[in-house]
Amino acid sequence: MKSFTFSILVFNHEEWILEHLESIKYLVLKYKPPIVDLLISDDKSIDRSRKLVDCWLVSNGHLFRNIEKIYNEVNVGTVICTKNIIKKCETDLLKITAGDDVYSFENIFHYSNMFCRSSIVSGLPYYLKDSNLTNETFSNVLHITSSLIYRDYNRFDMLHATNAPNILYNVGQLREIIDSSLFDRVKLVEDLLIQVLLSSRKFSFTQLYIPLVYYRRTSGSSYLIKGSQFDFDQRAIMDFQIYKSSCFKKLFLRNKYFCFGIKNKSVKYLVNIPFYIFLIKSILKFPKIIKKLSYFNKYNDISIHKRHYSLIAKAANIYENSID
């Protein structure tokens, strides 16, 4: 088994960070990877996130070969935090996840070894709403469809769905792209930035039909509270895609760029060429989509995952009570 780094993007995650850390602890104790590091990037949290991380590490730091804490004194944004994480990583494999998500019980170390043939390996998400774990069928249909209808390198040019918390990146390829000038133009949208840069090279995408991470979007998500910056970042990435594309593909990307700025959802889809491409290809692949969705639902028992999450939440609560 290859060496592995868990990296955590933290920003005002005091309510959830212990659950995240306890889910990492569960995986390390259960599967016993030979070399596992922990890399924590806190982007100037103003709550108790750092205190909780520091206290947890006093009791659990022995689980990791190396621990690196990057505590920013100013808010620099997710992209720079991610770039610093990649530069600091000293292992073969790297998982980047936000501190408000929770790892499932699946053996992430085993699936990480699939990088001999993939740039990206991705699971399918279950969703955490408060403390309620759910399986959102429509969302997973979109993820499955995206993996079935596109060639690997087209996925991030067109309309698609990809759940970033469930993604494992090839760390060797990450190191090859972090010096791209696009990193200097984007502040928050680190997931799409990385995906677009990876797909512009020799690229392959492997879809797993298991939940690696329970995805939680919180009211403090940067996506929600810094919408204008997210819009700017998305446009910067699309500008890059347009510049790098062939004349034929530029047509679709410019249409995508134009539709991005339309506020009326009905009009946005009415004139959106990538939407029609996605819809037509989805219809053609419909039997395979249903087959894959049925497979996911059959072989993943959400009741077992709910029990796992309850175990993690209880462990986090017990630990927090011990330090208050």
pLDDT tens per residue, range 130-149: 889 999 999 999 999 999 99
CA angle 206, 247, 268 (to 5 degrees): 70
Residue 143, token pair as written in the block: 């993820």
Domain boundaries, given as residue ranges, for the chain: 4-244+285-323
Tokens 């990809």 label which residue?
162
Axis-axis angle for helices 302-323, 17-31 (nearest 10): 110
Which three-class secondary structure state does DSSP give residue 158?
A: coil
CATH code for the structural domain at 4-244+285-323: 3.90.550.10
Cβ-contact 195, 234 below 8 angstroms: no
Q: Where are the alpha helices (DSSP H) in the chain?
A: 17-31, 49-60, 78-88, 108-112, 137-149, 171-177, 190-199, 222-225, 227-244, 247-260, 265-270, 273-284, 286-299, 302-323
Quick check: 170 pLDDT over 90? no
For range 89-108, the mean pLDDT: 94
pLDDT-derived band of residue 249, with 50, 70 and 90 as boundaries? confident
pLDDT-derived band of residue 226, with 50, 70 and 90 as boundaries? low
Quick check: 114 pLDDT over 80? no
Beta bridge partner(s), residue 117: none
Name which of 38, 46, 48 is nearest 8 in CA terms. 38
d(CA 281, CA 151): 12
Asked whether the whole model's pTM tops 0.85, one would answer yes
Cβ-contact 29, 61 below 8 angstroms: no
Cβ burial, residue 266 (10 Å; 0-12/13-18/19+): exposed
d(CA 3, CA 301): 29
pLDDT of residue 98: 95
79-112 CB burial, b ≥16 within 10 A, e <16: bbbbbbbbebbebbbbbbbbbbbbbbbbbbbebb
Tokens 């990206």 label which residue?
120
pLDDT-derived band of residue 171, with 50, 70 and 90 as boundaries? confident
**Beta carbons within 10 angstroms of residue 307's beta carbon:** 13
pLDDT-derived band of residue 116, with 50, 70 and 90 as boundaries? low
Average pLDDT, the chain: 92
Spatial CB neighbours of 181, under 8 Å, sequence gap ≥ 6: none
Model confidence over 173-204: pLDDT tens digits?
999 999 999 999 999 999 999 999 999 888 88
Among 51-65, 66-80, 98-112, 223-237, the range scoring the smallest mean pLDDT is 223-237
Spatial CB neighbours of 126, under 8 Å, sequence gap ≥ 6: 104, 133, 134, 135, 211, 214, 215, 302, 305
Quick check: 223 pLDDT over 60? no
Cβ burial, residue 35 (10 Å; 0-12/13-18/19+): middle
Model confidence over 265-318: pLDDT tens digits?
899 989 999 999 999 999 999 999 999 999 999 999 999 999 999 999 999 999
Q: H or E element: which one contains 5?
A: strand 4-10
Model confidence over 14-25: pLDDT tens digits?
999 999 999 999
